Amino acid sequence: MTPDQARLEIAAEIGPDIGAFTPPGEKHFIGATLMILFGGALLYSFLKAFGKKLGEKLGEKAADISSDYIISKIENARAMDKDRQKALLIEEQQRLEGLKRLTMLSEADVDGLGREVEKQLALALANQAPEDVAGRIANRVRTTSFAFIKIEIREG
Protein backbone atom coordinates (compact mmCIF):
# COMPACT_ATOMS: atom_id res chain seq x y z
CA MET A 1 0.00 0.00 0.00
CA THR A 2 1.36 3.43 -0.92
CA PRO A 3 1.13 6.52 1.29
CA ASP A 4 -1.41 8.01 -1.13
CA GLN A 5 -3.60 4.90 -0.97
CA ALA A 6 -3.43 4.84 2.83
CA ARG A 7 -4.26 8.54 3.17
CA LEU A 8 -7.16 8.20 0.74
CA GLU A 9 -8.55 5.15 2.55
CA ILE A 10 -8.59 7.01 5.85
CA ALA A 11 -10.00 10.17 4.24
CA ALA A 12 -12.83 8.10 2.78
CA GLU A 13 -13.66 6.81 6.26
CA ILE A 14 -13.71 10.35 7.65
CA GLY A 15 -16.01 11.39 4.82
CA PRO A 16 -18.91 13.60 5.91
CA ASP A 17 -17.59 13.74 9.48
CA ILE A 18 -14.72 16.01 8.43
CA GLY A 19 -16.69 19.00 9.74
CA ALA A 20 -16.12 17.81 13.31
CA PHE A 21 -12.37 18.28 12.81
CA THR A 22 -12.55 21.64 11.07
CA PRO A 23 -12.65 25.14 12.57
CA PRO A 24 -16.20 26.59 12.47
CA GLY A 25 -15.52 29.19 9.76
CA GLU A 26 -14.00 26.62 7.41
CA LYS A 27 -16.62 23.84 7.53
CA HIS A 28 -17.99 24.60 4.07
CA PHE A 29 -14.62 24.94 2.37
CA ILE A 30 -13.14 21.45 2.71
CA GLY A 31 -11.44 20.22 -0.41
CA ALA A 32 -10.32 16.70 -1.15
CA THR A 33 -6.69 17.66 -0.62
CA LEU A 34 -7.39 18.83 2.94
CA MET A 35 -9.27 15.61 3.71
CA ILE A 36 -6.41 13.52 2.36
CA LEU A 37 -3.89 15.54 4.38
CA PHE A 38 -5.98 14.99 7.51
CA GLY A 39 -6.09 11.27 6.72
CA GLY A 40 -2.32 11.34 6.40
CA ALA A 41 -2.00 13.20 9.69
CA LEU A 42 -4.01 10.50 11.45
CA LEU A 43 -1.92 7.79 9.79
CA TYR A 44 1.30 9.53 10.83
CA SER A 45 0.17 9.98 14.44
CA PHE A 46 -0.74 6.28 14.67
CA LEU A 47 2.56 5.17 13.17
CA LYS A 48 4.58 7.37 15.53
CA ALA A 49 2.72 6.09 18.61
CA PHE A 50 2.86 2.47 17.42
CA GLY A 51 6.59 2.86 16.80
CA LYS A 52 7.04 4.08 20.36
CA LYS A 53 5.23 0.99 21.65
CA LEU A 54 7.40 -1.30 19.51
CA GLY A 55 10.51 0.51 20.77
CA GLU A 56 9.35 -0.03 24.33
CA LYS A 57 9.30 -3.78 23.61
CA LEU A 58 12.93 -3.51 22.46
CA GLY A 59 13.97 -2.01 25.78
CA GLU A 60 13.59 1.69 25.05
CA LYS A 61 12.07 3.93 27.71
CA ALA A 62 8.38 3.63 28.47
CA ALA A 63 6.28 5.02 25.65
CA ASP A 64 4.03 8.02 26.19
CA ILE A 65 1.24 7.52 23.71
CA SER A 66 -1.33 9.63 25.51
CA SER A 67 -4.04 11.36 23.54
CA ASP A 68 -2.06 14.61 24.05
CA TYR A 69 0.97 13.04 22.35
CA ILE A 70 -1.22 11.84 19.48
CA ILE A 71 -2.91 15.23 19.11
CA SER A 72 0.51 16.90 18.83
CA LYS A 73 1.51 14.48 16.05
CA ILE A 74 -1.78 15.06 14.22
CA GLU A 75 -1.32 18.84 14.39
CA ASN A 76 2.28 18.62 13.18
CA ALA A 77 1.46 16.37 10.24
CA ARG A 78 -1.70 18.28 9.33
CA ALA A 79 0.32 21.47 8.89
CA MET A 80 2.68 19.86 6.34
CA ASP A 81 2.33 20.04 2.60
CA LYS A 82 1.41 16.78 0.88
CA ASP A 83 4.92 16.01 -0.37
CA ARG A 84 6.57 16.51 3.02
CA GLN A 85 3.87 14.42 4.69
CA LYS A 86 4.30 11.68 2.10
CA ALA A 87 8.06 11.61 2.67
CA LEU A 88 7.57 11.28 6.43
CA LEU A 89 5.03 8.49 5.96
CA ILE A 90 7.49 6.55 3.79
CA GLU A 91 10.22 7.10 6.38
CA GLU A 92 7.97 5.80 9.18
CA GLN A 93 6.84 2.86 7.04
CA GLN A 94 10.43 1.75 6.50
CA ARG A 95 11.40 2.30 10.14
CA LEU A 96 8.45 0.32 11.46
CA GLU A 97 8.90 -2.54 9.02
CA GLY A 98 12.42 -2.92 10.44
CA LEU A 99 11.31 -2.54 14.06
CA LYS A 100 8.57 -5.15 13.78
CA ARG A 101 11.13 -7.68 12.53
CA LEU A 102 13.40 -6.93 15.49
CA THR A 103 10.72 -7.32 18.13
CA MET A 104 9.72 -10.85 17.12
CA LEU A 105 6.33 -10.26 18.78
CA SER A 106 3.43 -12.63 18.38
CA GLU A 107 0.44 -11.59 16.30
CA ALA A 108 -1.57 -11.20 19.50
CA ASP A 109 1.06 -8.90 21.03
CA VAL A 110 1.25 -6.73 17.90
CA ASP A 111 -2.53 -6.57 17.74
CA GLY A 112 -2.66 -5.58 21.41
CA LEU A 113 -0.19 -2.75 20.86
CA GLY A 114 -2.18 -1.57 17.85
CA ARG A 115 -5.43 -1.59 19.78
CA GLU A 116 -3.79 0.34 22.62
CA VAL A 117 -2.75 3.05 20.15
CA GLU A 118 -6.19 2.93 18.50
CA LYS A 119 -7.81 3.58 21.88
CA GLN A 120 -5.64 6.65 22.48
CA LEU A 121 -6.31 7.91 18.97
CA ALA A 122 -10.06 7.52 19.54
CA LEU A 123 -9.75 9.51 22.78
CA ALA A 124 -7.87 12.25 20.92
CA LEU A 125 -10.47 12.38 18.15
CA ALA A 126 -13.33 12.37 20.68
CA ASN A 127 -12.20 15.84 21.72
CA GLN A 128 -13.79 17.05 18.48
CA ALA A 129 -16.18 14.35 17.30
CA PRO A 130 -18.80 12.05 18.85
CA GLU A 131 -17.31 8.91 20.44
CA ASP A 132 -18.81 6.55 17.85
CA VAL A 133 -17.33 8.59 14.99
CA ALA A 134 -13.97 8.84 16.75
CA GLY A 135 -13.93 5.10 17.41
CA ARG A 136 -14.87 4.21 13.83
CA ILE A 137 -12.18 6.45 12.36
CA ALA A 138 -9.52 5.26 14.84
CA ASN A 139 -10.31 1.66 13.92
CA ARG A 140 -9.88 2.44 10.21
CA VAL A 141 -6.60 4.20 10.95
CA ARG A 142 -5.32 1.11 12.81
CA THR A 143 -6.30 -1.35 10.08
CA THR A 144 -4.94 0.91 7.34
CA SER A 145 -1.73 1.51 9.28
CA PHE A 146 -1.19 -2.22 9.66
CA ALA A 147 -1.73 -2.73 5.93
CA PHE A 148 0.64 0.17 5.22
CA ILE A 149 3.45 -1.38 7.28
CA LYS A 150 2.54 -4.89 6.13
CA ILE A 151 1.25 -6.34 9.39
CA GLU A 152 -1.45 -8.93 8.92
CA ILE A 153 -3.80 -9.55 11.84
CA ARG A 154 -6.71 -11.92 11.43
CA GLU A 155 -9.75 -10.02 12.67
CA GLY A 156 -12.40 -11.77 14.73
Helices (H), 58-81: 67-78
Q: What is the pTM of this model?
A: 0.85
Confidence (pLDDT) at 152: 63
pLDDT digits (tens, 9 = 90+) for 60-104: 776 677 778 788 888 888 788 889 989 999 998 888 887 777 677
Residue of 14, 39, 38 lying closest to 145 (CA atoms): 39
Domain locations in the chain as residue ranges: 3-148
CA angle 124, 130, 132 (to 5 degrees): 95
Rounded to whole angstroms, what are the CA distances from 149 to 33, 62, 97, 145? 23, 22, 6, 6
Rounded to whole angstroms, what are the CA distances from 1 to 92, 110, 123, 149, 150? 13, 19, 27, 8, 8
Mean pLDDT of 104-124: 89
Confidence (pLDDT) at 6: 94
